[in-house]
Chain A
C-alpha cells in the first residue's frame, strides 16, 4: 500500500470514530422533552392506600411458631406465586426467593451436636437478609442492586442487571438466584400485577416493596397462618418487631461476617 493511501485510510478511520463518538455523545447527553425534573418522592402520597413506611424494614422469624408446621410451605408458595417465580423442576436451575432450610444448614456456624432434637429437626424460612452492609451491593458493577437509603431494602433493577452473577458470588447466604433459562414457560399461574423476569438476570426477595407502597405487608408475612413472620420498622421502638426482639433471644445468620443482616431468628 502506498504511503498516501495508508494515511488516507488512517484518517478516514479516525474520522469515522470521531463522528460515531460525537453522535453517541449527543444521543447520550440528549435530554428528552419527557424528562420530568420534579424530584420523585420515595413514598407516594398519590398511592390509593396509605403506604407502609419505615426507617429500616426488618423481619423477625419466630422459629418456635414455624417448627411445628413441618409440611407447611405457605410463605414460599405465596411469594413465588405473587412474584411469578418460575419452577424449573431441577435444583441446578432453581430460582427461589424464600424457602425452608434445616437448622444445620441455615446456621452451620452454630454447629452443635447436642442441640435439642426439636431444634435439630427444625426447618426455618431463609431469604435475603436485606443487610445494612450488603456485600452484593458493594460488588455490583452497574448498581443494578442497591440499598435504599430511605428504608434499608436491598432492591433489584432487572432492567440494568447484566447477569454477571458477581452478587451471587458475594452473597454469604445463598439468597440470590440467576435465570439460567427463559422463566416464562415455567410459571404455573402468571400474575398480571407483577412482571416476570427474563433469562440472564439475577433475582431475589425485595421485601415486597411494591406491596408496601400500597399499604400491604409482604406476601409471606400475610400468608403465614401461624404468625411466625413478623415484619416491621427496626427503628420504631413501639413496633411489634422491636418488642419481640426485646423479649426473646435472637440470632442472625453468619453474624460475624459484618454484613449486618436484618432478618432475625428467635429460637
Chain B
C-alpha cells in the first residue's frame, strides 16, 4: 500500500516538495542548535521549557483526539464514522511522531534518550509518557494497517483487531492524562498544580483535534474526490461543540479558584497572562485574542444554524484551533515559569532558529499525514 504515496499529480508533488523544503531548512537550523547548544533558542535559566515543549503538549492532545471518532464507531456501531476513522488514526500517527520529534529537539543530550529505557524510572512521569506515546504510536500503526489492508482486500478485518482497537480508546485518554501529570504534580509551579489540569487537557484536545479533522475533511473534499459526507462532519462538529463548552467552563473554573482565593502564587500567573506584570506582558494580546476567538467560535458552534452552515463551520473550526493553540501551545507552558520560583519576572520570546525547527517538525507531520491520506484515498479509489 505504501507505493500509493509515491504516485501523485503535479499538485500533490508541489505540496510534498514545499514541505520537504521547510523540513530541509529546519534540519540546517537543528544542526546549528546541536552544535552550539539550546542557547540559540529563547529559552534560559528561568523559562526553561518554551515553544518546543508547548508544541509537544498541544500535539499530544491532537493525537488523543482520534478517539473521538474511533469510540462511536467501534464501541457504539455509529456507522456514519466508517469512512473517517482511518483519517483520525492517521492524524494520530502523524501527531505522535511530531510530539516525539519536538521532545527530541528540546533535549540537551538527545542521543542519550535511550537512557530513559536503559534506566527505567517508574517514579518519573516522563518515563511513563514515553511508554504511553510509544505504545499509542504502535497501536495506531497496527490498527490503521490492518483495517485499511482488510478494506483493500474487501474482507472484514481479523477478529483480533477488535480488542486492540478497544484498547486504543483508554490508551488515548491515558496519553494526555500522563502528559498532564508531567506538570500537575509539581509543587514548584503553582500555575500547573491543579487537579483539573488533566481534564482541561482532555477537553481542549477533544475540541482542537476533531476541529482539525473537520478541516482536513473539507480540504480533502476540495482537492480530492474524497467526500466524508455531511452527516459524519456534522456529528464531529457536535462533538467539538460539547468539548469546547466543557473546555471554556474548565478555564473559567481555573480563573475563579485563582482569582477568588487571591493567593499571590496562583493569581500572579493569570495576571502575567492577561494583564502583564511590571510592564512585562508579551503574551497579553495573544491571550485576549484566544479568549475572543474561543467565545465567538463557541457561539457559532452552539447555534445550530451556524454550525450546520459549512462555510461558517470551517471558520469556527479554524478559530477553535487557533484559540486552543494559543492557550496550550503558547501560554500554558511559558506562564508556568513566569514569575519564577523566586518571584522574578523574566519573559520568553522564541528565536528564529527555534521557530524554523518547529516549522520543520510540523511540516514533517503534515508530510506524514499527506502520505498516509494519499494511501487511504488511493486504496479506496481502486475499490471504486
- Which residues of A are in contact with B by a Cβ distance under 8 Å? 1, 28, 91-95, 101, 105-106, 108-109, 111, 135, 138-144, 160-166, 168-174, 177-182, 198-202, 254, 257-259
- Which residues of B are in contact with A by a Cβ distance under 8 Å? 3, 36-39, 43-46, 48-49, 103, 106-110, 112-113, 115-116, 118-119, 121, 123-127, 130, 182, 185-189, 264-265, 336-337, 340-344, 346
Give the nearest-CB partner of A256 in chain B: B187
**Total A-B residue pairs with C-beta atoms closer than 8 Å?**
141
**Contact call B44/A93, Cβ cutoff below 8 A:** yes
Considering the chains assembled together, what is the distance between the CA atoms of A139 and B43 in angstroms?
20
Considering the chains assembled together, what is the distance between the CA atoms of A27 and B337 in angstroms?
42
**Given known A-B contacts A138-B124, A169-B48, A163 and B342 have beta carbons under 8 A apart:** no
Q: How far is the CB of A98 from chain B (nearest CB, A)?
A: 14
**Contact call B187/A135, Cβ cutoff below 8 A:** yes
Give the nearest-CB partner of B106 in chain A: A164
A sample of 29 inter-chain contacts (CB < 8 A) reads: A91-B44, A91-B346, A92-B39, A105-B343, A108-B342, A135-B187, A142-B112, A161-B112, A162-B112, A162-B115, A163-B112, A166-B126, A166-B182, A168-B48, A169-B48, A169-B336, A169-B337, A171-B341, A172-B341, A174-B340, A174-B341, A178-B48, A179-B37, A180-B39, A181-B37, A182-B36, A199-B38, A200-B38, A202-B108
Considering the chains assembled together, what is the distance between the CA atoms of A105 and B340 in angstroms?
10
Q: How far is the CB of B53 from chain A (nearest CB, A)?
A: 9
Considering the chains assembled together, what is the distance between the CA atoms of A257 and B186 in angstroms?
10
4 extra A-B contacts, CB within 8 A, seeds A166-B126, A168-B48: A141-B127, A162-B110, A178-B38, A179-B37
Considering the chains assembled together, what is the distance between the CA atoms of A90 and B357 in angstroms?
24
The winner among B46, B49, B121 for most chain A CB atoms within 10 A is B121
The winner among B38, B109, B182 for most chain A CB atoms within 10 A is B109
Considering the chains assembled together, what is the distance between the CA atoms of A177 and B113 in angstroms?
20
Give the nearest-CB partner of A259 in chain B: B187
Considering the chains assembled together, what is the distance between the CA atoms of A226 and B350 in angstroms?
44
B186: chain A residues within 8 A (beta carbon): 135, 139, 169-170
The winner among B107, B182, B341 for most chain A CB atoms within 10 A is B341
Give the nearest-CB partner of A109 in chain B: B265
B106: chain A residues within 8 A (beta carbon): 164
**Given known A-B contacts A141-B126, A161-B112, A162-B109, A170 and B44 have beta carbons under 8 A apart:** no
The winner among A109, A111, A142, A181 for most chain B CB atoms within 10 A is A142
**Contact call B44/A180, Cβ cutoff below 8 A:** yes
Considering the chains assembled together, what is the distance between the CA atoms of A67 and B5 in angstroms?
70
**Contact call A174/B342, Cβ cutoff below 8 A:** yes
**Given known A-B contacts A135-B186, A160-B115, A257-B188, A201 and B36 have beta carbons under 8 A apart:** no
Q: How far is the CB of B107 from chain A (nearest CB, A)?
A: 5
**Given known A-B contacts A142-B119, A169-B186, A177 and B45 have beta carbons under 8 A apart:** yes
**Contact call A200/B109, Cβ cutoff below 8 A:** yes
The winner among A94, A160, A164 for most chain B CB atoms within 10 A is A164
The winner among A91, A165, A258, A259 for most chain B CB atoms within 10 A is A165
Give the nearest-CB partner of B45 in chain A: A94
**Contact call B38/A180, Cβ cutoff below 8 A:** yes
Q: How far is the CB of B218 from chain A (nearest CB, A)?
A: 33
**Contact call B116/A169, Cβ cutoff below 8 A:** no
Give the nearest-CB partner of B186 in chain A: A170
**Contact call B187/A172, Cβ cutoff below 8 A:** yes
Q: Contact check: which of B123, B340, B342 meets A138 at CB < 8 Å?
A: B123
**Contact call B342/A101, Cβ cutoff below 8 A:** yes
Give the nearest-CB partner of A138 in chain B: B123
**Contact call B39/A160, Cβ cutoff below 8 A:** no
Considering the chains assembled together, what is the distance between the CA atoms of A227 and B106 in angstroms?
42
Q: How far is the CB of B190 from chain A (nearest CB, A)?
A: 10
Q: Contact check: which of B37, B43, B112, B121 meets A199 at CB < 8 Å?
A: B37
**Contact call B45/A162, Cβ cutoff below 8 A:** no
**Contact call A165/B188, Cβ cutoff below 8 A:** no
A138: chain B residues within 8 A (beta carbon): 123-124
Considering the chains assembled together, what is the distance between the CA atoms of A94 and B37 in angstroms?
14
Q: How far is the CB of A5 from chain B (nearest CB, A)?
A: 11
B108: chain A residues within 8 A (beta carbon): 161-165, 178-179, 199-202
The winner among B107, B108, B265 for most chain A CB atoms within 10 A is B108
Q: Contact check: which of B39, B107, B344 meets A105 at CB < 8 Å?
A: B344
Considering the chains assembled together, what is the distance between the CA atoms of A91 and B43 in angstroms?
11
**Contact call A140/B189, Cβ cutoff below 8 A:** no
Q: How far is the CB of B47 from chain A (nearest CB, A)?
A: 9
Considering the chains assembled together, what is the distance between the CA atoms of A109 and B37 in angstroms?
35
**Contact call A164/B126, Cβ cutoff below 8 A:** yes
Q: How far is the CB of A195 from chain B (nearest CB, A)?
A: 16
Give the nearest-CB partner of A174 in chain B: B341
Considering the chains assembled together, what is the distance between the CA atoms of A128 and B132 in angstroms?
32
Q: Contact check: which of A140, A163, A258 meets B124 at CB < 8 Å?
A: A140
Q: How far is the CB of B41 from chain A (nearest CB, A)?
A: 8
Considering the chains assembled together, what is the distance between the CA atoms of A198 and B39 in angstroms?
13
Q: How far is the CB of A209 from chain B (nearest CB, A)?
A: 21
A202: chain B residues within 8 A (beta carbon): 108
A200: chain B residues within 8 A (beta carbon): 37-38, 107-109
Q: How far is the CB of A133 from chain B (nearest CB, A)?
A: 10
A163: chain B residues within 8 A (beta carbon): 38, 107-110, 112
B342: chain A residues within 8 A (beta carbon): 101, 105-106, 108, 173-174
Considering the chains assembled together, what is the distance between the CA atoms of A163 and B109 in angstroms?
5
Considering the chains assembled together, what is the distance between the CA atoms of A101 and B187 in angstroms?
21
